[in-house]
Amino acid sequence: MNKMHLKKIASLKRNFLLNSEQIRYRNTEIGRYNFLEYNLNDALVIQPKIILH
Amino acid sequence: MAQKSFFILYIFCLLFFVSTSQNPVQIIDSLKIQLNKATKDIDRAKIIADLTWYYSMVNTDSAYVYGKKSIYSAKKIGDSTLIAQALSDFAVVNYSKGDLKTALDYYKKSLLIREKQRDSIGIASLHYKMGTAYHKKTQLDSAMIYYLKALKFYEDTGNEVLANSAESNIGALHFNQKNYNEALRFFNKNIIFFRKTDQSKLLGNALVNKASIQLVMKDTLEAVKTLKESIKISEAINNVETLGASYNNLGEVFMAQNKIEQAKDALSKSIQYRSNSNMDADLTSSKLTLAGIHNTLGEYKKARLLLDEIRPFYKREGIKEKLSTLYLQYITVFASEKRPDSARYYSAKYAELQEEIVGEKALNITNELGAKYESEKKQNEILKQRAQLAEKDLEVRRKNTFIFGSLGFAMLLGLLGYLLYNQQKLKNRQLQKEGELKTALAQIETQNKLQEQRLRISRDLHDNIGAQLTFIISSIDNLKYGFTDISEKLGDKLTSISNFTSQTIYELRDTIWAMNKENITFEDLQARIANFIEQAKNASERTEFSFTIDETVNETHVFSSVEGMNIYRIIQEAVNNALKYASADEIEVNILKEEGEYFIEIADNGVGFDQASIEMGNGLNNMKKRAREIGGKLQIKSSNHGTRILLRVPK
Q: CATH classification of B1-235 is 3.40.50.150, yes or no?
A: no
Edge-to-edge strand list for the sheet holding B586-594:
B544-549, B586-594, B597-604, B642-650, B633-639
A28–B contact, CB cutoff 8 A: no
B430 to A5: CB separation less than 8 angstroms, yes or no:
yes
User: Which amino acid is located at B42 in the chain?
Assistant: I
CB contact under 8 A, B456 and A27: no
- As annotated, the residues of chain B forming the CATH 1.25.40.10 domain(s) are 1-235
Residue A41 pLDDT: 56
Buried b (16+ CB within 10 A) or exposed e, B201-215: bbbbbbbbbbbbbbb
Count interface pairs A-B at CB distance under 8 A.
Answer: 76
Class of the domain covering B520-650:
alpha beta
CB-closest option in A30, A43, A50 to B448: A50
In DSSP notation, B479-521 reads HHHH-TT--HHHHHHHHHHHHHHHHHHHHHHHHHHHHH--EEE
From CA B643, how far away is CA B636, in angstroms rounded?
7
Q: In sequence order, what are the beta bridge partners of B592? A: B599
- Check the CA dihedral B289-B290-B294-B300 and report its sign: negative
Give the rounded distance of the alpha carbon of B308 from its chain centre.
Answer: 71
- Distances from the Cα of B178 to the Cαs of B98, B140, B216, B649, in angstroms? 24, 12, 9, 130
Point out the residue among B448, B463, B528 whose CB comes nearest to the CB of A22: B448
Q: Chain B closest CA to A47's CA: distance in Å? A: 7
Across all residues in chain B, what is the average pLDDT?
Answer: 86
Nearest to A33 among B449, B451, B513 (CB): B513
Q: At what angle do helices B180-196 and B160-176 cross, to 10 degrees?
A: 160
Residue B364: its pLDDT value, please? 67
Question: A28: nearest CA in chain B?
Answer: B517
Nearest CA in chain A to B572: A36
In chain B, which segments carry CATH 3.30.565.10? 520-650
Cα torsion at B227, B233, B237, B243 (round to 10°)? 0
pLDDT at B368: 66
pLDDT of residue B6: 56
Residue B213 is predicted with a pLDDT of: 87
Cβ-Cβ contacts under 8 Å, A3 against chain B: none
**Mean per-residue pLDDT pooled into runs of 10, chain B (651 residues):** 51 45 78 86 87 83 89 89 90 85 92 92 91 85 90 90 88 86 90 89 88 86 91 89 88 86 91 78 87 90 91 82 88 89 89 85 77 80 90 93 94 95 92 92 90 84 86 88 82 85 80 77 81 79 86 84 86 86 88 87 89 66 88 90 92 76
A6-49 confidence digits (pLDDT tens): 888 999 999 899 888 888 888 777 766 655 555 555 555 555 55
CB contact under 8 A, B513 and A9: no
How many Cβ atoms from other residues are within 10 Å of residue B555's Cβ?
10
Locate the domains of chain A by residue range: 2-42
Q: Is the dihedral of CA B398, B399, B403, B406 positive or negative?
A: positive
pLDDT of the residue at B19: 40
| Cα distance between residue B536 and residue B281, in whole Å | 148
The three-class DSSP label of residue B549 is: strand
